[in-house]
Structure 1
Amino acid sequence: MLPATEVKAVVFELDGTLVNTAADVRYAAEEMLADLKLPSLNVEHVSDWLGDGSDKLIHRILSRKIDGSVPDPVFRLGSALFLKAYQRRNHASAELYPGVEVCLRQLTKKKVPMVVVTNQATSLANDLLTQLGIRHHFALVLGRDALQEPKPSPDGLLEAALLLQVNPDQLVMVGGSVNDVNAARAAGCGAVCVSYGYNYGVDIRYAAPDAVLDSLADFPTYLQDDKPRATKARSRRGKSTATSAKERR
Protein backbone atom coordinates (compact mmCIF):
# COMPACT_ATOMS: atom_id res chain seq x y z
CA MET A 1 0.00 0.00 0.00
CA LEU A 2 1.27 3.45 -0.92
CA PRO A 3 2.63 5.83 1.72
CA ALA A 4 0.27 8.64 2.70
CA THR A 5 2.48 11.15 0.89
CA GLU A 6 1.67 9.46 -2.43
CA VAL A 7 -2.10 9.81 -2.11
CA LYS A 8 -3.54 11.61 -5.14
CA ALA A 9 -7.18 12.03 -4.09
CA VAL A 10 -9.42 11.69 -1.05
CA VAL A 11 -12.87 10.12 -0.69
CA PHE A 12 -14.97 11.22 2.28
CA GLU A 13 -17.99 9.66 3.94
CA LEU A 14 -20.64 12.30 4.58
CA ASP A 15 -22.76 11.45 7.62
CA GLY A 16 -20.85 10.99 10.84
CA THR A 17 -17.56 12.06 9.25
CA LEU A 18 -18.09 15.50 7.75
CA VAL A 19 -21.56 16.28 9.08
CA ASN A 20 -23.53 15.48 12.23
CA THR A 21 -27.05 14.69 11.02
CA ALA A 22 -28.30 12.57 13.94
CA ALA A 23 -30.75 15.14 15.29
CA ASP A 24 -32.54 15.51 11.96
CA VAL A 25 -32.76 11.73 11.64
CA ARG A 26 -34.23 11.47 15.12
CA TYR A 27 -36.82 14.17 14.41
CA ALA A 28 -37.85 12.42 11.18
CA ALA A 29 -38.03 9.06 12.95
CA GLU A 30 -40.29 10.42 15.69
CA GLU A 31 -42.56 12.10 13.14
CA MET A 32 -42.83 8.86 11.18
CA LEU A 33 -43.72 6.92 14.33
CA ALA A 34 -46.31 9.52 15.32
CA ASP A 35 -47.92 9.35 11.87
CA LEU A 36 -48.07 5.55 12.19
CA LYS A 37 -49.51 5.92 15.72
CA LEU A 38 -46.60 3.95 17.14
CA PRO A 39 -44.85 4.63 20.48
CA SER A 40 -42.02 7.15 20.59
CA LEU A 41 -38.56 5.76 19.94
CA ASN A 42 -36.98 7.29 23.06
CA VAL A 43 -33.52 6.15 21.92
CA GLU A 44 -30.71 8.60 22.57
CA HIS A 45 -28.14 7.10 20.25
CA VAL A 46 -30.01 6.73 16.96
CA SER A 47 -26.60 7.00 15.32
CA ASP A 48 -25.85 3.41 16.40
CA TRP A 49 -28.39 2.31 13.78
CA LEU A 50 -26.98 4.42 10.95
CA GLY A 51 -24.50 3.81 8.17
CA ASP A 52 -26.30 1.27 5.97
CA GLY A 53 -28.67 3.54 4.08
CA SER A 54 -32.22 4.66 4.76
CA ASP A 55 -33.91 1.31 4.02
CA LYS A 56 -32.13 -0.57 6.80
CA LEU A 57 -32.49 2.44 9.09
CA ILE A 58 -36.26 2.43 8.69
CA HIS A 59 -36.46 -1.31 9.35
CA ARG A 60 -34.38 -0.78 12.49
CA ILE A 61 -36.51 2.11 13.74
CA LEU A 62 -39.78 0.28 13.15
CA SER A 63 -38.57 -2.99 14.65
CA ARG A 64 -36.46 -1.36 17.42
CA LYS A 65 -33.64 -3.81 16.57
CA ILE A 66 -30.39 -3.32 14.64
CA ASP A 67 -31.00 -6.61 12.78
CA GLY A 68 -34.77 -6.24 12.68
CA SER A 69 -37.16 -6.08 9.75
CA VAL A 70 -40.85 -5.36 9.24
CA PRO A 71 -43.35 -6.54 6.61
CA ASP A 72 -42.99 -4.85 3.25
CA PRO A 73 -46.28 -2.85 3.38
CA VAL A 74 -45.27 -1.40 6.76
CA PHE A 75 -41.79 -0.62 5.48
CA ARG A 76 -43.04 1.11 2.33
CA LEU A 77 -45.45 3.31 4.27
CA GLY A 78 -42.85 4.07 6.93
CA SER A 79 -40.22 4.87 4.28
CA ALA A 80 -42.46 7.39 2.55
CA LEU A 81 -43.33 9.08 5.84
CA PHE A 82 -39.72 9.13 7.04
CA LEU A 83 -38.27 10.59 3.83
CA LYS A 84 -41.01 13.22 3.69
CA ALA A 85 -40.30 14.24 7.29
CA TYR A 86 -36.54 14.25 6.75
CA GLN A 87 -36.79 16.44 3.66
CA ARG A 88 -39.17 18.79 5.48
CA ARG A 89 -36.52 19.25 8.18
CA ASN A 90 -34.27 20.70 5.45
CA HIS A 91 -31.17 19.81 7.48
CA ALA A 92 -32.23 22.24 10.22
CA SER A 93 -30.00 20.65 12.88
CA ALA A 94 -27.15 19.46 10.66
CA GLU A 95 -23.72 20.81 11.52
CA LEU A 96 -20.13 20.31 10.46
CA TYR A 97 -17.90 18.51 12.92
CA PRO A 98 -15.04 20.56 14.38
CA GLY A 99 -12.02 20.61 12.11
CA VAL A 100 -13.89 19.83 8.89
CA GLU A 101 -13.68 23.31 7.37
CA VAL A 102 -9.99 23.62 8.23
CA CYS A 103 -9.29 20.25 6.62
CA LEU A 104 -11.22 20.99 3.42
CA ARG A 105 -9.71 24.43 2.99
CA GLN A 106 -6.18 23.08 3.34
CA LEU A 107 -6.76 20.23 0.90
CA THR A 108 -8.40 22.58 -1.60
CA LYS A 109 -5.46 24.97 -1.29
CA LYS A 110 -3.13 22.06 -2.06
CA LYS A 111 -5.33 21.10 -5.05
CA VAL A 112 -6.08 17.63 -3.71
CA PRO A 113 -9.18 16.28 -5.52
CA MET A 114 -11.95 15.31 -3.11
CA VAL A 115 -15.05 13.17 -3.57
CA VAL A 116 -17.98 12.30 -1.31
CA VAL A 117 -19.22 8.71 -1.47
CA THR A 118 -22.31 8.21 0.66
CA ASN A 119 -25.20 5.81 1.17
CA GLN A 120 -27.50 8.84 1.11
CA ALA A 121 -29.30 9.74 -2.11
CA THR A 122 -27.11 11.95 -4.31
CA SER A 123 -29.62 14.81 -4.39
CA LEU A 124 -29.97 14.90 -0.59
CA ALA A 125 -26.19 14.77 -0.17
CA ASN A 126 -25.70 17.65 -2.60
CA ASP A 127 -28.39 19.70 -0.84
CA LEU A 128 -26.77 19.10 2.55
CA LEU A 129 -23.26 20.00 1.36
CA THR A 130 -24.55 23.13 -0.37
CA GLN A 131 -26.53 24.28 2.65
CA LEU A 132 -23.48 23.89 4.89
CA GLY A 133 -21.29 25.79 2.42
CA ILE A 134 -18.80 23.05 1.55
CA ARG A 135 -20.09 21.60 -1.74
CA HIS A 136 -17.52 23.58 -3.77
CA HIS A 137 -14.66 21.60 -2.21
CA PHE A 138 -15.73 18.36 -3.92
CA ALA A 139 -15.21 17.35 -7.51
CA LEU A 140 -17.87 14.64 -7.27
CA VAL A 141 -20.71 13.49 -5.02
CA LEU A 142 -21.70 9.85 -5.49
CA GLY A 143 -24.79 8.71 -3.62
CA ARG A 144 -26.34 5.27 -3.41
CA ASP A 145 -28.41 5.92 -6.56
CA ALA A 146 -25.23 6.60 -8.58
CA LEU A 147 -23.68 3.21 -7.78
CA GLN A 148 -24.48 -0.44 -8.34
CA GLU A 149 -23.97 -1.29 -4.68
CA PRO A 150 -23.55 0.89 -1.58
CA LYS A 151 -20.70 0.57 0.92
CA PRO A 152 -19.26 -1.78 2.11
CA SER A 153 -19.04 -2.54 -1.61
CA PRO A 154 -15.98 -0.87 -3.17
CA ASP A 155 -18.07 0.39 -6.12
CA GLY A 156 -18.07 4.02 -4.98
CA LEU A 157 -14.32 4.11 -4.50
CA LEU A 158 -13.61 2.39 -7.80
CA GLU A 159 -15.97 4.76 -9.59
CA ALA A 160 -14.29 7.76 -7.96
CA ALA A 161 -10.86 6.51 -9.04
CA LEU A 162 -12.10 6.00 -12.60
CA LEU A 163 -13.66 9.46 -12.85
CA LEU A 164 -10.62 11.15 -11.31
CA GLN A 165 -8.29 9.10 -13.52
CA VAL A 166 -6.17 7.76 -10.67
CA ASN A 167 -5.39 4.24 -9.54
CA PRO A 168 -7.52 2.96 -6.63
CA ASP A 169 -4.41 2.59 -4.44
CA GLN A 170 -3.78 6.32 -4.93
CA LEU A 171 -7.02 7.09 -3.06
CA VAL A 172 -7.58 7.21 0.66
CA MET A 173 -11.01 6.66 2.17
CA VAL A 174 -11.86 8.90 5.12
CA GLY A 175 -14.83 7.64 7.10
CA GLY A 176 -16.00 6.52 10.48
CA SER A 177 -17.42 3.03 10.18
CA VAL A 178 -16.40 -0.54 9.51
CA ASN A 179 -18.26 -0.23 6.19
CA ASP A 180 -15.83 2.49 5.12
CA VAL A 181 -12.83 0.39 6.12
CA ASN A 182 -14.15 -2.71 4.35
CA ALA A 183 -14.91 -0.73 1.18
CA ALA A 184 -11.40 0.71 1.22
CA ARG A 185 -9.77 -2.68 1.71
CA ALA A 186 -11.82 -4.21 -1.10
CA ALA A 187 -10.81 -1.39 -3.44
CA GLY A 188 -7.14 -1.46 -2.43
CA CYS A 189 -7.31 2.03 -0.91
CA GLY A 190 -5.98 3.42 2.33
CA ALA A 191 -8.46 3.85 5.18
CA VAL A 192 -8.43 6.67 7.72
CA CYS A 193 -11.24 6.96 10.26
CA VAL A 194 -12.50 9.59 12.65
CA SER A 195 -13.01 8.43 16.22
CA TYR A 196 -16.55 9.87 16.40
CA GLY A 197 -18.04 8.15 13.32
CA TYR A 198 -21.27 6.17 13.11
CA ASN A 199 -20.12 2.63 13.82
CA TYR A 200 -22.96 0.86 15.66
CA GLY A 201 -21.58 2.01 19.01
CA VAL A 202 -18.30 0.06 18.53
CA ASP A 203 -14.84 1.63 18.72
CA ILE A 204 -13.61 2.01 15.13
CA ARG A 205 -10.15 0.80 16.13
CA TYR A 206 -11.49 -2.76 16.08
CA ALA A 207 -11.88 -2.38 12.29
CA ALA A 208 -8.10 -1.74 12.03
CA PRO A 209 -7.99 1.34 9.78
CA ASP A 210 -4.59 2.78 8.88
CA ALA A 211 -5.12 5.68 11.29
CA VAL A 212 -7.75 7.06 13.64
CA LEU A 213 -8.08 10.82 14.05
CA ASP A 214 -10.03 12.72 16.69
CA SER A 215 -10.37 15.70 14.34
CA LEU A 216 -10.19 16.07 10.58
CA ALA A 217 -8.04 19.13 11.18
CA ASP A 218 -5.21 16.59 11.62
CA PHE A 219 -5.78 14.89 8.28
CA PRO A 220 -3.70 17.21 6.05
CA THR A 221 -0.75 16.59 8.38
CA TYR A 222 -1.33 12.84 8.06
CA LEU A 223 -0.96 13.15 4.28
CA GLN A 224 2.43 14.80 4.75
CA ASP A 225 3.74 11.91 6.86
CA ASP A 226 6.06 9.65 4.86
CA LYS A 227 5.70 6.69 7.24
CA PRO A 228 3.98 3.57 5.85
CA ARG A 229 0.30 3.59 6.73
CA ALA A 230 0.34 0.33 8.66
CA THR A 231 3.09 1.60 10.99
CA LYS A 232 1.19 4.80 11.65
CA ALA A 233 -1.98 2.86 12.39
CA ARG A 234 -0.28 0.62 14.95
CA SER A 235 1.09 3.59 16.83
CA ARG A 236 -2.32 5.22 17.04
CA ARG A 237 -4.10 2.06 18.13
CA GLY A 238 -1.73 1.85 21.03
CA LYS A 239 -3.12 5.06 22.43
CA SER A 240 -6.12 5.28 24.71
CA THR A 241 -9.54 5.31 23.07
CA ALA A 242 -11.02 8.60 22.01
CA THR A 243 -13.70 10.43 23.86
CA SER A 244 -17.27 9.45 23.05
CA ALA A 245 -18.79 10.83 19.87
CA LYS A 246 -21.37 13.55 19.53
CA GLU A 247 -24.88 12.56 18.55
CA ARG A 248 -24.44 11.36 15.03
CA ARG A 249 -26.22 9.73 12.17
Structure 2
Amino acid sequence: MLPATEVKAVVFELDGTLVNTAADVRYAAEEMLADLKLPSLNVEHVSDWLGDGTDKLIHRILSRKIDGSVPDPVFRLGSALFLKAYQRRNHVSAALYPGVEACLRQLTRKKVPMVVVTNQATSLANDLLTQLGIRNHFALVLGKDALQEPKPSPDGLLEAALLLHINPDQIVMVGGSVNDVNAARAAGCGAVCVSYGYNYGVDIRYAAPDAVLDTLADFPTYLEDEQPRAKKPRARRKTSTQSARERR
Protein backbone atom coordinates (compact mmCIF):
# COMPACT_ATOMS: atom_id res chain seq x y z
CA MET A 1 0.00 0.00 0.00
CA LEU A 2 1.18 3.53 -0.73
CA PRO A 3 2.42 5.78 2.07
CA ALA A 4 -0.23 8.20 3.36
CA THR A 5 1.33 11.14 1.54
CA GLU A 6 0.72 9.42 -1.81
CA VAL A 7 -2.87 8.23 -1.31
CA LYS A 8 -5.09 10.76 -3.06
CA ALA A 9 -8.54 9.13 -2.90
CA VAL A 10 -10.51 6.24 -1.39
CA VAL A 11 -13.01 4.06 -3.24
CA PHE A 12 -15.59 2.20 -1.14
CA GLU A 13 -17.78 -0.77 -1.89
CA LEU A 14 -21.35 -0.13 -0.76
CA ASP A 15 -23.12 -3.36 0.23
CA GLY A 16 -21.39 -5.28 2.99
CA THR A 17 -18.78 -2.58 3.55
CA LEU A 18 -20.60 0.67 4.29
CA VAL A 19 -24.17 -0.61 4.56
CA ASN A 20 -25.81 -3.83 5.70
CA THR A 21 -28.55 -4.40 3.11
CA ALA A 22 -28.97 -8.16 3.58
CA ALA A 23 -32.31 -7.98 5.42
CA ASP A 24 -33.97 -5.92 2.67
CA VAL A 25 -32.55 -8.22 -0.01
CA ARG A 26 -33.86 -11.30 1.82
CA TYR A 27 -37.30 -9.70 2.12
CA ALA A 28 -37.42 -8.91 -1.60
CA ALA A 29 -36.18 -12.41 -2.45
CA GLU A 30 -38.90 -14.08 -0.38
CA GLU A 31 -41.58 -11.84 -1.89
CA MET A 32 -40.36 -12.67 -5.40
CA LEU A 33 -40.46 -16.40 -4.64
CA ALA A 34 -43.94 -16.11 -3.16
CA ASP A 35 -45.19 -14.25 -6.25
CA LEU A 36 -43.73 -17.01 -8.42
CA LYS A 37 -45.28 -19.64 -6.13
CA LEU A 38 -41.88 -21.14 -5.43
CA PRO A 39 -40.70 -22.54 -2.07
CA SER A 40 -39.15 -20.21 0.48
CA LEU A 41 -35.36 -19.93 0.55
CA ASN A 42 -33.03 -20.62 3.44
CA VAL A 43 -32.28 -17.03 4.45
CA GLU A 44 -28.67 -17.84 5.33
CA HIS A 45 -27.88 -18.35 1.65
CA VAL A 46 -28.83 -14.84 0.55
CA SER A 47 -25.97 -13.02 2.28
CA ASP A 48 -23.50 -15.50 0.80
CA TRP A 49 -24.82 -14.78 -2.69
CA LEU A 50 -24.49 -10.99 -2.58
CA GLY A 51 -21.69 -9.01 -4.21
CA ASP A 52 -22.04 -9.64 -7.93
CA GLY A 53 -24.99 -7.40 -8.74
CA THR A 54 -28.73 -7.96 -8.88
CA ASP A 55 -28.79 -10.05 -12.06
CA LYS A 56 -26.52 -12.78 -10.71
CA LEU A 57 -28.28 -12.66 -7.35
CA ILE A 58 -31.65 -13.38 -8.96
CA HIS A 59 -30.21 -16.27 -10.97
CA ARG A 60 -28.74 -17.68 -7.75
CA ILE A 61 -31.97 -17.32 -5.79
CA LEU A 62 -34.11 -18.89 -8.49
CA SER A 63 -31.67 -21.74 -9.18
CA ARG A 64 -30.64 -22.19 -5.52
CA LYS A 65 -26.99 -22.36 -6.64
CA ILE A 66 -24.20 -19.80 -6.51
CA ASP A 67 -23.17 -20.64 -10.08
CA GLY A 68 -26.71 -21.39 -11.27
CA SER A 69 -28.79 -19.75 -13.97
CA VAL A 70 -32.40 -19.91 -15.12
CA PRO A 71 -34.02 -19.45 -18.53
CA ASP A 72 -34.27 -15.85 -19.70
CA PRO A 73 -38.10 -15.57 -19.46
CA VAL A 74 -37.98 -16.80 -15.84
CA PHE A 75 -35.12 -14.42 -15.04
CA ARG A 76 -36.91 -11.40 -16.56
CA LEU A 77 -40.08 -12.07 -14.59
CA GLY A 78 -38.17 -12.74 -11.40
CA SER A 79 -36.06 -9.62 -11.87
CA ALA A 80 -39.13 -7.40 -12.28
CA LEU A 81 -40.76 -8.87 -9.18
CA PHE A 82 -37.58 -8.64 -7.11
CA LEU A 83 -36.84 -5.02 -8.01
CA LYS A 84 -40.44 -4.03 -7.35
CA ALA A 85 -40.33 -5.64 -3.91
CA TYR A 86 -36.91 -4.18 -3.12
CA GLN A 87 -37.92 -0.65 -4.08
CA ARG A 88 -41.17 -0.96 -2.15
CA ARG A 89 -39.11 -1.97 0.87
CA ASN A 90 -37.42 1.46 0.59
CA HIS A 91 -34.30 0.39 2.51
CA VAL A 92 -36.29 0.13 5.75
CA SER A 93 -33.85 -2.35 7.28
CA ALA A 94 -30.64 -0.96 5.78
CA ALA A 95 -28.14 0.25 8.36
CA LEU A 96 -24.63 1.62 8.44
CA TYR A 97 -22.07 -0.68 9.95
CA PRO A 98 -20.47 0.49 13.21
CA GLY A 99 -17.62 2.90 12.60
CA VAL A 100 -18.72 3.99 9.12
CA GLU A 101 -19.91 7.47 10.06
CA ALA A 102 -16.80 8.17 12.13
CA CYS A 103 -14.60 7.05 9.23
CA LEU A 104 -16.39 9.17 6.63
CA ARG A 105 -16.47 12.27 8.83
CA GLN A 106 -12.74 12.04 9.53
CA LEU A 107 -11.81 11.54 5.88
CA THR A 108 -14.10 14.43 4.89
CA ARG A 109 -12.42 16.70 7.44
CA LYS A 110 -9.08 15.77 5.91
CA LYS A 111 -10.48 16.54 2.44
CA VAL A 112 -9.80 13.05 1.11
CA PRO A 113 -11.97 12.51 -2.01
CA MET A 114 -14.22 9.47 -1.65
CA VAL A 115 -16.05 7.46 -4.30
CA VAL A 116 -18.52 4.59 -4.17
CA VAL A 117 -18.12 1.90 -6.82
CA THR A 118 -20.88 -0.68 -6.61
CA ASN A 119 -22.47 -3.43 -8.64
CA GLN A 120 -25.85 -1.95 -7.72
CA ALA A 121 -27.60 0.41 -10.13
CA THR A 122 -26.39 3.98 -9.65
CA SER A 123 -29.87 5.32 -8.87
CA LEU A 124 -30.49 2.71 -6.16
CA ALA A 125 -27.06 3.36 -4.65
CA ASN A 126 -27.68 7.12 -4.56
CA ASP A 127 -31.10 6.61 -2.97
CA LEU A 128 -29.62 4.36 -0.29
CA LEU A 129 -26.74 6.69 0.53
CA THR A 130 -29.08 9.69 0.66
CA GLN A 131 -31.58 7.94 2.92
CA LEU A 132 -28.82 6.96 5.34
CA GLY A 133 -27.47 10.52 5.37
CA ILE A 134 -23.98 9.89 3.96
CA ARG A 135 -24.30 10.80 0.26
CA ASN A 136 -22.66 14.17 0.89
CA HIS A 137 -19.36 12.51 1.75
CA PHE A 138 -18.84 11.14 -1.76
CA ALA A 139 -17.60 12.99 -4.81
CA LEU A 140 -18.88 10.24 -7.13
CA VAL A 141 -21.18 7.22 -7.10
CA LEU A 142 -20.51 4.76 -9.92
CA GLY A 143 -22.98 1.91 -10.31
CA LYS A 144 -22.96 -0.97 -12.77
CA ASP A 145 -24.86 1.09 -15.36
CA ALA A 146 -22.11 3.75 -15.32
CA LEU A 147 -19.38 1.27 -16.26
CA GLN A 148 -18.54 -1.07 -19.09
CA GLU A 149 -18.02 -3.99 -16.73
CA PRO A 150 -18.80 -4.41 -13.02
CA LYS A 151 -16.34 -5.67 -10.43
CA PRO A 152 -14.16 -7.74 -10.42
CA SER A 153 -13.32 -5.70 -13.52
CA PRO A 154 -11.12 -2.69 -12.63
CA ASP A 155 -13.32 -0.37 -14.76
CA GLY A 156 -14.87 1.38 -11.74
CA LEU A 157 -11.52 2.16 -10.17
CA LEU A 158 -10.01 3.30 -13.45
CA GLU A 159 -13.03 5.51 -14.12
CA ALA A 160 -12.80 7.00 -10.64
CA ALA A 161 -9.10 7.80 -11.18
CA LEU A 162 -9.88 9.38 -14.55
CA LEU A 163 -12.67 11.57 -13.16
CA LEU A 164 -10.59 12.62 -10.14
CA HIS A 165 -7.54 13.34 -12.36
CA ILE A 166 -5.23 11.05 -10.42
CA ASN A 167 -3.35 7.84 -11.13
CA PRO A 168 -5.00 4.53 -10.21
CA ASP A 169 -2.13 3.63 -7.89
CA GLN A 170 -3.00 6.70 -5.81
CA ILE A 171 -6.33 5.09 -4.85
CA VAL A 172 -7.09 2.69 -2.04
CA MET A 173 -10.03 0.31 -2.57
CA VAL A 174 -11.97 -0.48 0.60
CA GLY A 175 -14.29 -3.45 0.27
CA GLY A 176 -15.29 -6.77 1.72
CA SER A 177 -15.12 -9.35 -1.03
CA VAL A 178 -12.64 -11.09 -3.30
CA ASN A 179 -14.15 -9.09 -6.18
CA ASP A 180 -12.97 -5.87 -4.53
CA VAL A 181 -9.46 -7.25 -4.04
CA ASN A 182 -9.26 -8.53 -7.61
CA ALA A 183 -10.49 -5.22 -9.01
CA ALA A 184 -7.92 -3.33 -6.95
CA ARG A 185 -5.08 -5.59 -8.04
CA ALA A 186 -6.07 -5.30 -11.70
CA ALA A 187 -6.16 -1.50 -11.43
CA GLY A 188 -2.91 -1.25 -9.48
CA CYS A 189 -4.64 0.09 -6.36
CA GLY A 190 -4.17 -0.71 -2.70
CA ALA A 191 -6.76 -3.07 -1.21
CA VAL A 192 -8.13 -2.90 2.34
CA CYS A 193 -11.03 -5.12 3.41
CA VAL A 194 -13.47 -5.30 6.30
CA SER A 195 -13.79 -8.64 8.04
CA TYR A 196 -17.61 -8.65 7.91
CA GLY A 197 -18.17 -8.16 4.17
CA TYR A 198 -20.27 -10.26 1.80
CA ASN A 199 -17.75 -12.80 0.50
CA TYR A 200 -19.68 -16.00 -0.24
CA GLY A 201 -19.17 -17.17 3.34
CA VAL A 202 -15.36 -17.32 2.92
CA ASP A 203 -12.89 -15.49 5.17
CA ILE A 204 -11.65 -12.46 3.21
CA ARG A 205 -8.09 -13.07 4.42
CA TYR A 206 -7.79 -15.84 1.82
CA ALA A 207 -7.98 -13.11 -0.86
CA ALA A 208 -4.79 -11.55 0.58
CA PRO A 209 -5.74 -7.86 0.79
CA ASP A 210 -3.18 -5.42 2.17
CA ALA A 211 -5.06 -5.27 5.47
CA VAL A 212 -8.25 -6.54 7.10
CA LEU A 213 -10.10 -4.28 9.56
CA ASP A 214 -12.89 -5.23 11.94
CA THR A 215 -14.31 -1.70 11.84
CA LEU A 216 -13.94 1.20 9.40
CA ALA A 217 -13.39 3.47 12.39
CA ASP A 218 -9.79 2.21 12.25
CA PHE A 219 -9.29 3.03 8.58
CA PRO A 220 -8.28 6.71 8.81
CA THR A 221 -5.59 5.82 11.36
CA TYR A 222 -4.38 2.96 9.19
CA LEU A 223 -4.28 5.25 6.18
CA GLU A 224 -2.14 7.78 8.02
CA ASP A 225 0.43 5.28 9.24
CA GLU A 226 3.53 5.66 7.13
CA GLN A 227 5.04 2.39 6.07
CA PRO A 228 8.29 2.09 8.04
CA ARG A 229 11.41 1.88 5.96
CA ALA A 230 13.85 -0.85 6.80
CA LYS A 231 16.85 0.59 8.57
CA LYS A 232 20.27 -0.27 7.26
CA PRO A 233 22.32 -2.14 9.84
CA ARG A 234 25.01 0.01 11.37
CA ALA A 235 28.57 -0.99 10.69
CA ARG A 236 30.01 -2.45 13.85
CA ARG A 237 32.89 -0.41 15.27
CA LYS A 238 36.08 -2.41 15.30
CA THR A 239 37.60 -3.15 18.67
CA SER A 240 41.24 -2.41 19.35
CA THR A 241 41.95 -6.15 19.35
CA GLN A 242 40.39 -6.57 15.85
CA SER A 243 42.38 -3.61 14.53
CA ALA A 244 45.58 -4.99 15.91
CA ARG A 245 44.94 -8.36 14.27
CA GLU A 246 44.29 -6.72 10.88
CA ARG A 247 47.61 -4.82 11.08
CA ARG A 248 49.54 -8.07 11.55
TM-score (norm 2): 0.91
Flag the structure with larger Rg.
2
Structure 1: distance between partners of 2:67 and 2:138: 34
Q: What residue is the counterpart of 1:9 in the other structure?
A: 9
CA distance in 1, matches of 2:18, 2:82: 23
The verdict on how the C-alpha distance between 1:161 and 1:69 changes in structure 2, with shifts beyond 3 A counting, is: same
RMSD: 13.1
Whether the 8 Å CA contact 1:13–1:117 is kept in 2: the answer is yes
Alpha-carbon distance, 1:6 to partner:
1.9
Deviation at 1:117, TM superposition (A): 0.2
Distance 1:28 1:219 in 2: 32
Shift of 1:248: 73
- Take 2:69 and 2:243, find their aligned partners in 1: how far apart are those partners? 29
Give the distance between the partners of 1:245 and 1:60, measured in 2 at CA.
79
CA gap 1:130/1:154 in 2 versus in 1, 3 angstroms: same
Match of 1:84 in 2: 84
Report SS of the residue matched to 2:66. Answer: coil
Give runs of ≥4 in structure 1 deviating > 6 Å: 228-237, 239-249
Taking a change above 3 Å as real, the CA distance of residues 150 and 236 of structure 1, as seen in their structure-2 partners, is farther
How far did 1:247 drift? 71
Q: Secondary structure at the match of 2:69?
A: coil
Structure 1 residues 174 and 24, CA gap change in structure 2 (3 angstroms): same
For the 8 Å contact 1:16–1:196, the answer to whether it is kept is yes
Q: Structure 1 pair 208/232, CA: closer, same or farther in 2 (3 Å)?
A: farther
Q: Given the superposition, is the C-alpha separation of residues 224 and 139 from structure 1 closer, same or farther in structure 2, using an over 3 Å criterion? A: same
Cα distance change of structure 1 residues 140 and 162 upon mapping to structure 2, 3 Å threshold: same
Answer whether contact 1:210 1:230 (CA < 8 A) is retained. no
Q: Could you tell me how far apart the structure 1 residues matched to 2:129 and 2:247 are?
A: 16
CA contact (8 A) 1:195 1:242 kept: no
Question: 1:157-214 deviations in whole A, cap 9, x for unaligned?
Answer: 0000010111100000000000000000000000000000000000000000000000
How far 1:245 moved relative to its partner?
A: 66
Offset, 1:3: 2.2
Q: Is the 8 A contact 1:3 1:228 kept in 2?
A: no
What is the Cα deviation at residue 244 of structure 1? 62
Q: SS state of the match for residue 102, structure 1?
A: helix
Following superposition, the deviation at residue 44 of structure 1 comes to: 2.1
TM (norm. structure 1) is 0.90
Q: Which residues of structure 2 form unaligned runs of 5+?
A: none
Structure 1: give runs of 5+ residues left out of the alignment: none
Q: Deviations over 1:13-67 (max 9, x none)?
A: 0000000000000000000000000001123241100100001000000011101
Give the SS at the match of 1:234: coil
Query: Could you say which residue in structure 2 is the equivalent of 1:230?
Result: 230
Shift of 1:233: 24
Flag the 1:217–1:21 CA change in 2: closer, same or farther, 3 A: same
Q: Structure 1's 212 and 231: CA in aligned 2 closer, same or farther, altered over 3 A?
A: farther
Q: Distance in 1 between matches of 2:244 and 2:91?
A: 20
TM-aligned CA deviation for residue 236 of structure 1: 33
Q: CA deviation at 1:230?
A: 13
| C-alpha distance 196-73 of structure 1, shift in aligned 2 (>3 A) | same
Does the 8 Å CA contact 1:3/1:227 hold for their aligned counterparts? yes
Q: Please report how far the alpha carbon of residue 241 of structure 1 lies from its aligned counterpart in structure 2 after TM superposition.
A: 53
Q: Which moved more, 1:159-168 or 1:42-51?
A: 42-51
- Are residues 243 and 152 of structure 1, via their aligned partners in 2, closer, same or farther at CA, if it must alter by over 3 Å? farther
The answer to whether the 8 A contact 1:194-1:212 is kept is yes
- Note if contact 1:211-1:229 (Cα within 8 Å) is conserved in structure 2: no
SS, match of residue 230 in structure 2: helix
Provide the C-alpha distance between the structure 2 equivalents of 1:244 and 1:198, rounded to a whole number of angstroms: 64
Residue aligned with 2:92, SS: coil
CA distance in 1, matches of 2:97, 2:243: 14
Are 1:195 and 1:203, in contact at CA under 8 Å, matched by a contact in 2? yes
TM superposition shift of 1:232 = 20
Change (3 A) 1:230 1:60: farther
